[in-house]
């Protein structure tokens, strides 16, 4: 049984808490949150202990691993403290928004033996993974083009947007940049990005990019397109298309049921799942299970620090391209 | 160039006239209709001659073939006259509604060498034929169950219904009975049918069955289900499903475009093609071409008199089952 | 927290045990199985107690409810014992194979106040339920035809088949008969059934029907078709189609992923889920949750004894029709 | 009846000849081809006259319109000669590969009153047009992103490629650039393009780009992505996706039948139509009909000289971007 300390009880924290609680060999032992009442809601539900003091939880020798769900800019000190305390670390993406901070954190982490995993959960989505495995199995031969559509149904609240300018790169497409690296087993050498503000001033008061198109050129020659939007009113739109010398693979969207309604106006099916937590419910479970299995086996967690660093590097270069209007070499 | 005399300018007549006119090796020479103005509309469009006197057209030695599109109860004397005149005959289904009359006509026809084809056009639909060919090629092994959905968007006008009671068997499902024989290359040994009047008295004043379910048992053991309705408000619904020892084949519906609309309320595609003439446009062309090719080659037309007779026999037995409530042996 | 005693550790027992263990307000306390080692496997996994003596478990005053997963012919004495002991009862379908025994059991049960639920889990499948709710909401107006395809990928082992002749009615289509009643909120007045043995003597040594087609006529006039097979090599095929005056609703099949592969030979998607426990994983969870909620609220469980009895009655009449070859009135 | 002179009997010429011949109010009168035997094949089939001398055909006062199907670099003198002869002109795309020549031709054409139409047939594809009309009808509100996949199953023969370097822009994506303008009713202000040679030296001996990704920024703010390949082994892949403030519209691919095969390995449907002439058969018919109707009505043909020029301008800018690696302003 592996005891976890969850740091950050808001947003994605409860998802991890529920998955820990349902895992046969993991247990939620501590919840750390500056907002004690947020932490207590979780601890009461799952029978864990609550504190606002990270050090108190890290001092518990029973705690084997830490899950970091706080805002991105707070991640690196928590990572470093947890590593010093000899805990295994599962950190939500992005590691941080500042590459220099990430590099310093990587150095500190490297001085310890703390196992580290970054939460690019999409790698564990059964459909995306089936596409990945089919590419690896050579079903389409060499991949030549990759197209990712990555669209949220809504923009984040203004304060969240204010805290992370160009979040469409740092928070959203960073998932896609990781997928590109993972799916193609290759690194990009150049990125070109164009953005737009399509939402009105009420929805997007900070005029942060809410729409983006990206082209990546990979070291191996493949061309990649990513598009993103914060206004897919029809639901959470998450598609991947891999085109290769011998065919094409498509990872399609997900709907709650398979019901078809045939009426005078046409054939209607369910809208897409709307919320990312519903769409990726299974991948959140599976990434945690993979992390637990790695800790049990003493092997490296599935997605390492360098994976987190490289996805951030691509996001940052994308922002530079979007701001300057010219491609940026990587 | 094969010269045709079209008998019956209404309803399906214009479809055949247009297809003849577009055929590179066929020509519409005569249109025979008691209603001279109906005939003239066609002849003016396609440059043919018009008459209300069948004998006049049959006397033309240039006429090679006759296409019979008049109401079913008038078919047999026309067939016999055309056969006596030495013409090849393409007759719309059903040959007649009365098996005794059909048998007598068959005897008369047999005394001549007139090539004869009955217009079960669905055998020439590309999708249904692909399913047929896949069965023949053994893709699902021995067929074990066959399910046909055969639904019209509307009931025929009251006078048409009055002229052909139980038309859902004689006019609609007779197509399906032919498909069953053709797809399975087998004959039914028993039929069970249940019908209902679901339309209201205004739409269906004669209270003729507008809804039907049929189960057939085939000599080879396969079980077959056919369902039919005159109220598929969502369009002309024509599906076939063949289930066998090694898999299943489905011939699906047709829509005018592939457009998908994704909105808040779900994903919407076009309604089905609404009119049978649109849905089966290609099969009408191809059956005529197959008939022309058979005449050119001097081979038997693709769907013979006996095919027409057997489909009628099944329809008649189905009506008896529907009326008595018990299965009827064939 | 509601404590459960599970009776019958084989087959579907482990599914209920896992769902109980994951339920936030239920607990597996006892496992009763004549085969102690089967029971122990479950109890070790979930921390319950194991016995081969039903009475021992029923004597535990902490036990609130009993889940019966033994073979059908053993259900009624267990139901009666559990009812006498004042336990709530969740019984797998069918209640029994003999209507007289079921009626006697119903009388015995009626003398107690024991809450009773029969496990027609398909009512809780999200897609089937969405179709049900759409019918109730009037989306297709009055239902006129209902078509259910209910096909297993394999036949049960010979001893299982020997223990339940005509199991395609009593074990498989009994689900569909329940769905028909539930979806249409109506009762059948007549059933016609035809069966076949399509599997070879090795797969089906008892020559029990492995293929079936059924037509039901409902009191309200709707026509219903059910087809079933024990050889859907392409996976667990479970479809429902409801046709009504204003349209059609289809509950389609389920696949593990949405991946599409486009190659020279065509477009390929995943095969269907193969195992009923995968296909209906969610419905098993939801039916148990509904049972727990009913116990907590003190309301009637969602699917009553009479529902189990009526589905059996339809199955039995279907068997009589299949044996005699004529429709049977209900 | 409108008499046509077809110039260029190879490649797409026979498609237009067949459509002319089937059109109720058009007629193929002359075929002009330097290769007399190519022209004669067509004239024999359709009963027209054949010549290798354009002037001879243009001197025929019965000729009302000219269809130009020769290689692109030969178009402008034919356009100019036809215009001087007072003929209406239908010219295949691209008008030419050299913008200066096109501009000079435009000036010459402007001195006459010759009606002119450029053959961007995709505007007449029923599915693409339905998407266009839905955008215009406001079904997705303001379009924000447009994504076009435009992939051929094979590269052209080496001599064809040698005659038109960067043909993936000038010959293939020029269609998409026209579609972008038409669908969005807007002009691009910037283009960024990246290309690759993915085919091997045997298939693509001239190492001309066979794979491309493009991003366009429109004057109105929308972002556009186009991708193209000459190796879609799975068939002719032609999709358009329009994303807007209120939803998304997708124009999907086309298959010859709707047959689904369910087997152990999954669910298989037909491959896509392979040949552009099959995929766009209907659009070639409809564009010609629209041209005929415009001539009859005396209105401007549906796609003007300026449309041809602007699409070429975008293609040319795209080539410059692909060569320099930086975005090019338009």
A205-217 burial code (b ≥16 CB/10 A, e <16): eeebbbbbbbbbb
Q: Which residue of D has its CA nearest to C271?
A: D266
| Residues A29 and A9 sit within 8 Å (Cβ to Cβ) | no
Tell me which residue of D99, D60, D61, D105 sits closest to D79, measured CA to CA.
D105
| H-run or E-run covering B244 | strand B237-244
Neighbours of D56 (CB within 10 A): 13
Three-class secondary structure of residue B187 per DSSP: coil
Helix axes D13-22, D36-46, angle to 10 degrees: 20
Are the Cβ atoms of A127 and C247 closer than 8 angstroms?
A: no
Tell me which residue of A128, A253, D148 sits closest to B267, measured CA to CA.
A253
Give the pLDDT band of residue C239 (cuts 50, 70, 90): very high
* Chain A touched by D134 (CB under 8 Å): no
* Chain D touched by A287 (CB under 8 Å): no
Are the Cβ atoms of D266 and C264 closer than 8 angstroms?
A: no
pLDDT at B249: 98
Q: Which residue of B has its CA nearest to D240?
A: B259
CA pair distance D152, D248, nearest whole angstrom = 25
Q: Sign of torsion, CA A53 A55 A61 A64?
A: positive
* Chain D touched by C61 (CB under 8 Å): no
Are the Cβ atoms of C229 and B142 closer than 8 angstroms?
A: no
DSSP letter assigned to residue A110: H
Beta strand segments in C69-172, E = 88-91, 116-118, 143-151
Structure tokens at D240: 């358009």
Structure tokens at A129: 């993974």
Q: Sign of torsion, CA C146 C152 C153 C158?
A: negative
Cis amide bond preceding D35, omega within 30: no
Runs of H (alpha helix) within chain A = 13-22, 36-46, 54-58, 75-84, 99-110, 126-136, 158-163, 167, 174-184, 276-279, 281-297, 305-324
A151 Cα distance to chain centroid: 14
B262, B264, B269 ranked by CB distance to A266: nearest? B269
| Residues B255 and B272 sit within 8 Å (Cβ to Cβ) | yes
Q: Interior CA angle at D41 toward D36 and D42, to 5°?
A: 100
Are the Cβ atoms of A270 and B268 closer than 8 angstroms?
A: no
Contacting subunits of C (3+ beta carbon pairs below 8 A)? A, B, D
| Residue that wins the pLDDT comparison between C229 and B23 | C229
pLDDT at A236: 97
CA pair distance C239, C196, nearest whole angstrom = 21
* Chain B touched by C304 (CB under 8 Å): no
* Chain A touched by D232 (CB under 8 Å): yes
Tell me which residue of D82, D68, D64, D17 sits closest to D43, measured CA to CA.
D17
Contacts of residue C292, Cβ cutoff 8 Å, sequence gap at least 6: C2, C23, C25, C26
| Residues B303 and B311 sit within 8 Å (Cβ to Cβ) | no
* Chain B touched by D126 (CB under 8 Å): yes
Structure tokens at D159: 């001599």
D215, D234, D237 ranked by CB distance to A213: nearest? D215
pLDDT at C49: 94
Are the Cβ atoms of A234 and B267 closer than 8 angstroms?
A: yes
pLDDT in tens, C171-183: 999 999 999 999 9
CA atoms within 13 A of residue C263's CA, in its CB half-sphere: 12
| Residues C325 and C183 sit within 8 Å (Cβ to Cβ) | no
- In chain A, residues with a C-beta closer than 8 Å to the C-beta of C257 are 126-127, 130, 251
| Residues A97 and A122 sit within 8 Å (Cβ to Cβ) | no
The answer to whether residue A304 scores a pLDDT higher than 90 is: yes
pTM over 0.80: yes
pLDDT in tens, D1-52: 899 999 999 889 999 999 998 888 999 999 999 888 888 888 888 889 999 9
Structure tokens at B262: 């994704």
Chain D interface test: which of B257, B270, B273, B285 (most D C-beta within 10 Å): B257
Q: Which residue of B has its CA nearest to C325?
A: B327
Structure tokens at A214: 């990206």
* Chain C touched by A1 (CB under 8 Å): no
- In chain A, residues with a C-beta closer than 8 Å to the C-beta of C261 are 134, 139-140, 247-249
Three-class secondary structure of residue B130 per DSSP: helix
The DSSP string of A130-150 is HHHHHHHTTTTSSEEEEEEEE
Q: Sign of torsion, CA A110 A112 A113 A118?
A: negative
CA distances for B314 relative to A202, A288, B319, angstroms = 68, 62, 9
Shortest alpha-carbon distance between residue B299 and chain D (Å): 26
Neighbours of D243 (CB within 10 A): 28
Shortest alpha-carbon distance between residue A260 and chain B (Å): 10
C185 Cα distance to chain centroid: 18
- In chain B, residues with a C-beta closer than 8 Å to the C-beta of A270 are 266-267
Shortest alpha-carbon distance between residue A274 and chain B (Å): 10
CA pair distance D122, D117, nearest whole angstrom = 14
C22, C246, C252 ranked by CB distance to A260: nearest? C252
pLDDT in tens, A18-57: 999 888 899 999 999 988 888 888 888 888 999 999 999 9
Tell me which residue of C171, C219, C160, C230 sits closest to C195, measured CA to CA.
C230
Q: Sign of torsion, CA C153 C156 C157 C161?
A: negative
pLDDT in tens, A176-227: 999 999 999 999 999 999 999 999 999 999 999 999 999 999 999 999 999 9
- In chain D, residues with a C-beta closer than 8 Å to the C-beta of C267 are 234, 255, 268-272
* Chain C touched by D271 (CB under 8 Å): yes
Are the Cβ atoms of B198 and C245 closer than 8 angstroms?
A: yes
Are the Cβ atoms of A256 and C126 closer than 8 angstroms?
A: yes
pLDDT by residue for chain B (330 residues), tens only, comes to: 899 999 999 889 999 999 998 888 999 999 999 888 888 888 888 889 999 999 999 999 999 999 999 999 999 999 999 999 999 999 999 999 999 999 999 999 999 999 999 999 999 999 999 999 999 999 999 999 999 999 999 999 999 999 999 999 999 999 999 999 999 999 999 999 999 999 999 999 999 999 999 999 999 999 999 999 999 999 999 999 999 999 999 999 999 999 999 999 999 999 999 999 999 999 999 999 999 999 999 999 999 999 999 999 999 999 999 999 999 999
Q: Interior CA angle at D198 toward D193 and D199, to 5°?
A: 130
Q: In chain A, what is the straight-line distance between the N-terminal and C-terminal CA atoms, in Å?
A: 43
| pLDDT-flagged residues of chain D (< 70) | none
**Residue tagged 């026809």 (tokens):** B109
* Chain B touched by D260 (CB under 8 Å): yes
A192, A223, A246 ranked by CB distance to D211: nearest? A223
Is residue D151 exposed (0-12), middle (13-18) or buried (19+ Cβ within 10 Å)? buried
Structure tokens at A177: 């940049």
The answer to whether residue C40 scores a pLDDT higher than 90 is: no
Tell me which residue of A234, A285, A279, A232 sits closest to A254, measured CA to CA.
A279
Reported ipTM:
0.96
| H-run or E-run covering C182 | helix C174-184
| Residues A207 and A200 sit within 8 Å (Cβ to Cβ) | no
- In chain B, residues with a C-beta closer than 8 Å to the C-beta of A266 are 268-271
CA distances for D97 relative to A74, B286, C52, C321, angstroms = 57, 42, 87, 76
Tell me which residue of C251, C282, C312 sits closest to C92, measured CA to CA.
C312
Q: In chain D, what is the straight-line distance between the N-terminal and C-terminal CA atoms, in Å?
A: 43
| Residues A174 and A93 sit within 8 Å (Cβ to Cβ) | yes
| Percent above pLDDT 90 for chain C | 93
Shortest alpha-carbon distance between residue B271 and chain A (Å): 4
The answer to whether residue C41 scores a pLDDT higher than 90 is: no
What is the 3-state secondary structure of chain D? Answer: CEEEEEECCCCCHHHHHHHHHHCCCEEEEEEECCCHHHHHHHHHHHCCEEECCHHHHHCCCCEEEEEECCCHHHHHHHHHHHHHCCCEEEECCCCCCCHHHHHHHHHHHHCCCCCEEECCHHHHCHHHHHHHHHHHCCCCCCEEEEEEEEECCCCCCHHHHHHCCCHHHHHHHHHHHHHHHHHHCCCEEEEEEEEECCCCCCCCCCCCCCEEEEEEEECCCCEEEEEEECCCCCCCEEEEEEEECCEEEEECCCCCCCCEEEECCEEEECCCCCCHHHHCHHHHHHHHHHHHHHHHHCCCCCCCHHHHHHHHHHHHHHHHHHHHCCCEEC
Tell me which residue of A281, A133, A146 sits closest to C282, measured CA to CA.
A281
pLDDT in tens, D166-209: 999 999 999 999 999 999 999 999 999 999 999 999 999 999 99
């Amino acid at each position: 049984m592996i005891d976890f300390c969850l740091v950050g009880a808001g947003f994605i924290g409860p998802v991890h808490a529920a998955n820990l609680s349902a895992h046969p060999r993991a247990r939620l032992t501590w919840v750390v949150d500056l907002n004690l009442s947020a932490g207590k809601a979780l601890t009461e539900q799952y029978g864990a202990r609550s504190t606002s003091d990270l050090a108190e939880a890290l001092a518990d020798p029973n705690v084997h691993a830490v899950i970091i769900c706080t805002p991105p800019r707070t991640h690196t000190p928590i990572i470093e403290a947890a590593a010093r305390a000899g805990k295994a670390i599962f950190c939500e993406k992005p590691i941080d928004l500042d590459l220099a901070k990430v590099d310093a954190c990587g150095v500190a982490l490297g001085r310890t033996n703390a196992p580290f995993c970054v939460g690019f959960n999409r790698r564990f989505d059964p459909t995306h993974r089936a596409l990945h495995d089919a590419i690896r199995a050579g079903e389409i031969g060499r991949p030549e083009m990759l197209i990712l559509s990555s669209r949220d149904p809504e923009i984040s609240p203004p304060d969240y947007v204010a805290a992370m300018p160009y979040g469409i790169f740092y928070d959203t497409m960073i998932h896609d940049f990781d997928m590109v690296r993972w799916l193609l087993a290759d690194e990009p050498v150049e990125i070109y990005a164009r953005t737009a503000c399509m939402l009105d001033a009420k929805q997007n008061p900070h005029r942060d990019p809410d729409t983006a198109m990206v082209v990546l050129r990979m070291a191996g020659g493949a061309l990649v397109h990513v598009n993103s939007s914060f206004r897919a009113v029809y639901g959470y739109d998450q598609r991947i298309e891999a085109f290769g010398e011998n065919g094409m693979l498509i990872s399609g969207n997900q709907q709650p049921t398979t019901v078809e309604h045939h009426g005078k106006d046409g054939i209607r099916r369910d809208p897409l799942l709307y919320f990312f937590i519903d769409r990726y419910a299974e991948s959140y479970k599976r990434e945690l299970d993979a992390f637990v299995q790695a800790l049990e086996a003493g092997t490296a967690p599935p997605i390492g620090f360098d994976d987190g660093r490289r996805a951030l590097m691509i996001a940052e270069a994308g922002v530079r391209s979007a701001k300057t209007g010219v491609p940026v070499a990587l």
